[in-house]
Amino acid sequence: DQQVKQNSPSLSVQEGRISILNCDYTNSMFDYFLWYKKYPAEGPTFLISISSIKDKNEDGRFTVFLNKSAKHLSLHIVPSQPGDSAVYFCAARPSSNTGKLIFGQGTTLQVKP
């Protein structure tokens, strides 16, 4: 039972354009959502997060949007840079507050110069 889904395994965009990565979830009890960036053979690094009481959070070139009614979140990167090329994971935290995170399968982003 995949509670957090990233249906696009890969995405390719041109440098300077917008990258939009999508994530869907099924559990309405998730109260916190996070995006992580991961390079090969390294651990994921935290990128940006949003709580379920908000619908948007922005940090520099990165913006996360949350649509609770659709159980959908997205990460926008604008403008995209070649250094953004990595695997992006969305993650959700159950409101049980254990701190554990449920991860999606990841989307590989390639930003072409």
Partner 1 sequence: DGGITQSPKYLFRKEGQNVTLSCEQNLNHDAMYWYRQDPGQGLRLIYYSQIVNDFQKGDIAEGYSVSREKKESFPLTVTSAQKNPTAFYLCASSVPGQGYRATEAFFGQGTRLTVV
Binding footprint of partner 1 on the chain (CB under 8 A):
4, 6, 9, 31-32, 34, 36, 41-46, 49, 51, 53, 89, 91, 93, 97-106
Q: Based on CB atoms, which residue is closest to partner 1, 98 or 113?
A: 98
Nearer to partner 1, 69 or 97 (CB): 97
3-state secondary structure of 60: coil
Per DSSP, 82 falls in state G
Pull the structure tokens for residue 94.
């159950």
Report the C-alpha gap between 73 and 56 in whole angstroms: 9
Rank residues 9 and 16 by Cβ distance to partner 1 and give the closer one.
Answer: 9
- Report the nearest approach of partner 1 to the CB of residue 16 (Å): 28
CB of 32 to partner 1, least distance (A): 5
Instruction: State the minimum distance, in angstroms, from the CB of residue 15 to partner 1.
Output: 27
From the centroid of its chain, how far is CA 85? 14
CB of 44 to partner 1, least distance (A): 5
Cross-strand pairs, 109: 11, 86
Q: What is the C-alpha separation between 97 and 57, in angstroms, rounded? A: 21
